[in-house]
Structure 1
Amino acid sequence: MERLHSGSETPTSPRVLLLEAFYGGSHKQLIDLLRENIDSCSVFTLPAKKWHWRARTAALYFSQIIPACASYRVLFSSSVLNLCELLALRPDLAHLKKVLYFHENQLVYPVRKDQERDFQYGYNQILSCLVSDAVVFNSLFNMDSFLSSITSFIKKIPDHRPKDLDQLIRPKCVVLNYPVQFPDVRRLLPRHKLFPQQQMNPDDAQTPQAEVHPEGPEQEGLDQSMSNPTTDQNTVSEEHSIEQIKPLHIVWPHRWEHDKNPELFFSTLLRLKEKHLRFHLSVLGETFTDIPEIFTEAKHLLDSHILNWGFLSRKEDYVRVLCEADVVVSTAKHEFFGVAMLEAVHCGCYPLCPKALVYPEIFPAQYLYSTPKQLYKRLQELCRRPNVARTHIVKVNTASFSWNCLKDRFKALLAV
C-alpha cells in the first residue's frame, strides 16, 4: 500500500480523501492529477496487481489503514473499490460527500461467455452507486451502457429481485471526461507533422484537411513558434520526399490483454504482409500477468516490420514513438474512454477505431470502421499511400479532453 499526500508536507487537516484500489495506468494518472491540484488531500492506494483481488478485498484493507480524521469532508474513489463495504466497516466515513468515478463498468465488460461473468463485481458497483452522492463516468457510453444494463443484470438473481435500481442511481450520474495531460510535443514532431499543409501532394488533395485544435496552455510555446515559421521550403520539400518513401508506421499503444482484441490487429497486419505491403510496426502498452499468446506469435511473424516492441516506462520515449508513427489503430472489444488513442492523435497520428463503444463519441465517422474487412482495406490503402496519413490534420479537438479544460469541474466536484 502506498500512501501519498498533496504537496511536500503532510496536511495537518486533510479535507479530501482519495482512494484507489488499482493504482496503475489511467487510474494512477487521475489520482496523481487530483493529488497535485486539490488542496489538502490524503491519498491511499494499492498497487495495480491482480485486479480481481483488489475489487474483492480492498475495502477491508483500507478500513484498517485509513486513520480516523474529523477534518475529512469528501471521499473520492474509483469503482474498483466496494464503497458500500468500506462504509459498513468504517461508519465514521459515511457522512462524507462520496464521489464514485467509473473508468469502466463491469456490467458490460467483455467476457468470452456470459456464463463466465462474475456477478459479484457488477453487483458491487451497483451497491457502491447506491451509497454514493455523485456517480461520475468518463464518457456518455460508459454511463449509458451501465444504466441500461442494470435491469437485465439484476434479472440474473434467481428470485426476490430488487426493482428500479437504475431510477435510484440515474439522478446521481454525470459525465466528466477523463482529464488527459497532453505534453508539449513540438520538439519531438517530425517536420511533416509540424507543417502538413506545406507538404500536401496534389494526388492527396481529396483528403479532407481538418481544422487545427490547439491543446491549451501547454501548447502556448508551440503556437507562438508556429506563428512565425522560418522554415526553408527546399528543406521541407526534401524531407517530404523522404517521408513519401518511408513505409507507413503503424502503432498499437494498448494494454496487452484480450479485451483489446490483439488477435484482430495482428491478423490484419499479417494479411498486409501476405500482400507484400510495406509498413513499420510499434507495439507498445502495458503488460500484466497473463499475456495473450498472439503477442509471441506476432513478434516472430512480423519481426522484419517491428521498430518498437513492448512497454516504454519513460513517458518521453513513449511520446517520441507516437510522434514518429503515422497511424494509430484500436481493435478494442472494450473501451470506455481511450486515453492512448487521444495521446496518439495529439502526437499527429491518424486514428482508426471501431464504430462502436466510446469511439463515435470522440472520433468523427471518417476515422471509424465497422468490420475487420474495412480495417484491412483502410490500412491497405494507407500502406500504398502513406502520405495521406502524414498530411492529414485529424479532426478531433483534443483540447476538450485536457486537464486544463476539465480541472475546474473536478475541483467543483470535490468541493463541499
Structure 2
Amino acid sequence: MQQSEQVCGSPSVLLLEPFYGGSHKQLIDLLKENILSCSVFTLPAKKWHWRARTSALFFSQTVPTCSSYRVLFSSSVLNLCELVSLRPDLARLKKVLYFHENQLVYPVRRNQDRDFQYGYNQCVVVSYPVQFPDVSSLLPEHKRIRRPCSGKRSEDNDIIRQQGKQSQDDDIIRHCGGQQLSLSSTLESTCGSKTIVTPVSEVESAAQVKPLHIVWPHRWEHDKNPELFFNTLLRLKEKLLDFHVSVLGETFTDVPEIFSLARVPLDSNILHWGFLPSKDQYLQVLCDADVVVSTAKHEFFGVAMLEAVHCGCFPLCPKALVYPEIFPEQYLYSTPEQLCKRLQELCRRPDLARKHVAMVDTSLYSWTSLKTQFKSLLTSDSP
C-alpha cells in the first residue's frame, strides 16, 4: 500500500516516488533526511509498468491540497504531465523530474511490437547522489592497509585516493592498469596517532592463498545480462580455476532461468546467493569481495558498482552505457572473451586485485559533493 509522511506545519517540498525500492528508495530517503520541510508519498516497488501507467491517477487522489508547497520532486516513473492535468493546483509548483534511466533503449527479450510510451515520457539522465557509508570497520586486513587515512575524515568517508606507483613488471598489471602499492619490508597505515604495521609476508600469503572472490550485486533481471556473467563463470570452472562468488541483488516476479541453471554447477563456489536483508550484511560482502562485475545491457548510473568500489573492489564493466563516463579504460571490457580473460588472470593472481587501488574518485558522486545542487533545486521556487 501507499506510504505517506508529512511534516508538521507547512511543508514546502512534495516528494513523490511511484516505485519506492532499490536506488529509487535510496534517493528519496536521502532527500527526506537532508531537505527540510518535505512531504513524502510513495508506492511499493512492485509491478513497474502499472506504476508508470497509473501512479499519476493514484497520487492525484491521495496527495492533499496544500498551499505551502513550492517544489514537486519525482522520478520519471511518474507521468508528471498527467498528474498536473489531474491536479491543476500543482501546476504552479516548480517541478524537478529525476530520470533514473532511458526507457527508449530498454533491452527486449523478444522481438515484438513495443510500447514506446515510457520512452517518450523519459529521455534524459542526470547525476545521482550516493550516501557512501563508513565501511572502515568492515574491511579485511588487506584492504585496510592500502586504504588512505587522514586525521580528519570527510563527511561521507568516501574518497578513495590513488596510492603507490605504477607497476611495470607484470603483464597482468599492465593489462589491468591502475596504481599499485609499493611494498617494502612492512606496510604501514597511519591514521592520526595510530599506526598499523603488518608484515608483508603475512599479507602476501593471505592475499595469494584465498581464492578470488567475485561479486555480482545487481537485480536478477534480464537487462543486467546474467547469462553473460554465469556463462563466464562456467568457463572459468572448465579451466579448473578456483574462485568464490557472491550473487546479490533483488528478485522480482520473473527471474531469468539462468540463475537456477547455473546454481548447481557453481554450488561449491558460492559464498552468498540472493538478496541480503540488511545493508550492513550487504556492505560486509562487498568489503570481503575482490572483484565486482557488471554485465548490464541497460544502465544509466550504477550505484551498486560505485558502492563496491568504495568498499575496495576491483571493477570490471562493459565498455558501453554510462560506464566509460565513470570508469577509466583499464576497468572496461568490450567482448565476453575480454571479460573471461580478465577474470582468468585475476583468478590466477588474486593478490593483484587485492593490492590494487581503483582509480575511481567516488567522491564526485557523493551527497557531500552534490548536496548543494540538490538543496538549491529543492529549496527555491524559481525555475
TMscore range, shorter length: 0.7 to 0.9
1:103-126 deviation line (CA, Å, top 9, x unaligned) = 012111111356442122223337
The match for 2:320 is 356
Query: What are the equivalent positions in structure 2 for 1:226-305 lying under 5 Å apart?
Result: 226-234=191-199, 237-305=201-269
Deviation at 1:229, TM superposition (A): 4.6
Deviation at 1:69, TM superposition (A): 0.6
Give the alignment partner of residue 44 of structure 1, picking from 41, 45, 64: 41
Query: What are the equivalent positions in structure 2 for 1:290-329 lying under 5 Å apart?
Result: 290-329=254-293
Compared with structure 1, are the counterparts of its residues 211 and 361 closer, same or farther at alpha carbon in structure 2 (3 Å cutoff)? Answer: farther
CA contact (8 A) 2:309 2:358 kept: yes
1:349-392 deviation line (CA, Å, top 9, x unaligned) = 00000000000000000000000000000000110111111111
The match for 2:137 is 187
In 2, Cα distance between equivalents of 1:287 and 1:44: 24
Residue 44 of structure 1 aligns to a residue in which SS? strand
In 1, Cα distance between equivalents of 2:218 and 2:198: 37
The match for 2:179 is 210
Residue 301 of structure 1 aligns to a residue in which SS? coil
TM-score (norm 2): 0.87
CA contact (8 A) 2:228 2:336 kept: yes
1:228-281 deviation line (CA, Å, top 9, x unaligned) = 5522333x5314312211110000000000000000000000000000000000
In 2, Cα distance between equivalents of 1:334 and 1:261: 9
Residue 10 of structure 2 aligns to a residue in which SS? coil
Query: What are the equivalent positions in structure 2 for 1:29-40 lying under 5 Å apart?
Result: 29-40=26-37
The higher relative CO (CA closer than 8 Å, separation ≥ 6) is in 2
Structure 1 residue 396 corresponds to structure 2 residue 360:
yes
Deviation at 1:289, TM superposition (A): 1.1
Structure 2 unmatched runs, 5+: 147-162, 182-188
Which residue identity does 1:188 align to in structure 2? Answer: L
CA contact (8 A) 2:180 2:355 kept: no
Structure 1 residue 81 corresponds to structure 2 residue 69:
no
In 2, Cα distance between equivalents of 1:225 and 1:73: 48
In 2, Cα distance between equivalents of 1:233 and 1:98: 54
Compared with structure 1, are the counterparts of its residues 211 and 278 closer, same or farther at alpha carbon in structure 2 (3 Å cutoff)? Answer: closer
Say what the alpha-carbon RMSD is for the aligned residues: 2.2
Give the alignment partner of residue 128 of structure 2, picking from 178, 184, 191: 178
Which residue identity does 2:179 align to in structure 1? Answer: A
Where is the helix percentage greater, Structure 1 or Structure 2?
1
Which residue identity does 1:210 align to in structure 2? Answer: Q
Structure 1 unmatched runs, 5+: 127-135, 139-176, 213-223
In 2, Cα distance between equivalents of 1:205 and 1:42: 51
| Deviant stretches of 4+, over 6 Å | none
CA contact (8 A) 2:109 2:222 kept: no
In 2, Cα distance between equivalents of 1:232 and 1:64: 62
Residue 137 of structure 1 aligns to a residue in which SS? coil
Residue 352 of structure 1 aligns to a residue in which SS? strand
Query: What are the equivalent positions in structure 2 for 1:190-201 lying under 5 Å apart?
Result: 190-196=140-146
1:190-235 deviation line (CA, Å, top 9, x unaligned) = 111122479x9976775655399xxxxxxxxxxx96355522333x
Residue 292 of structure 2 aligns to a residue in which SS? strand
The match for 2:304 is 340
Which residue identity does 1:2 align to in structure 2? Answer: Q
Residue 249 of structure 1 aligns to a residue in which SS? strand
In 2, Cα distance between equivalents of 1:308 and 1:336: 26
Compared with structure 1, are the counterparts of its residues 205 and 81 closer, same or farther at alpha carbon in structure 2 (3 Å cutoff)? Answer: closer
1:68-91 deviation line (CA, Å, top 9, x unaligned) = 111111111100001111111101
Query: What are the equivalent positions in structure 2 for 1:47-196 lying under 5 Å apart?
Result: 47-113=44-110, 115-125=112-122, 137-138=125-126, 177-196=127-146
The match for 2:349 is 385
In 1, Cα distance between equivalents of 2:193 and 2:232: 42
Compared with structure 1, are the counterparts of its residues 246 and 354 closer, same or farther at alpha carbon in structure 2 (3 Å cutoff)? Answer: same
In 1, Cα distance between equivalents of 2:217 and 2:122: 28
Residue 357 of structure 2 aligns to a residue in which SS? coil
CA contact (8 A) 2:15 2:74 kept: yes
Residue 78 of structure 2 aligns to a residue in which SS? coil
CA contact (8 A) 2:333 2:339 kept: yes
In 2, Cα distance between equivalents of 1:409 and 1:32: 17
Deviation at 1:184, TM superposition (A): 0.8
Compared with structure 1, are the counterparts of its residues 244 and 38 closer, same or farther at alpha carbon in structure 2 (3 Å cutoff)? Answer: same
Compared with structure 1, are the counterparts of its residues 208 and 122 closer, same or farther at alpha carbon in structure 2 (3 Å cutoff)? Answer: closer
CA contact (8 A) 2:229 2:295 kept: yes
Which residue identity does 1:65 align to in structure 2? Answer: T
Give the alignment partner of residue 405 of structure 1, picking from 366, 369, 376: 369
Residue 134 of structure 2 aligns to a residue in which SS? coil
In 2, Cα distance between equivalents of 1:363 and 1:402: 16
Deviation at 1:317, TM superposition (A): 0.5
Which residue identity does 1:46 align to in structure 2? Answer: L
Which residue identity does 1:284 align to in structure 2? Answer: L
Structure 1 residue 4 corresponds to structure 2 residue 5:
yes
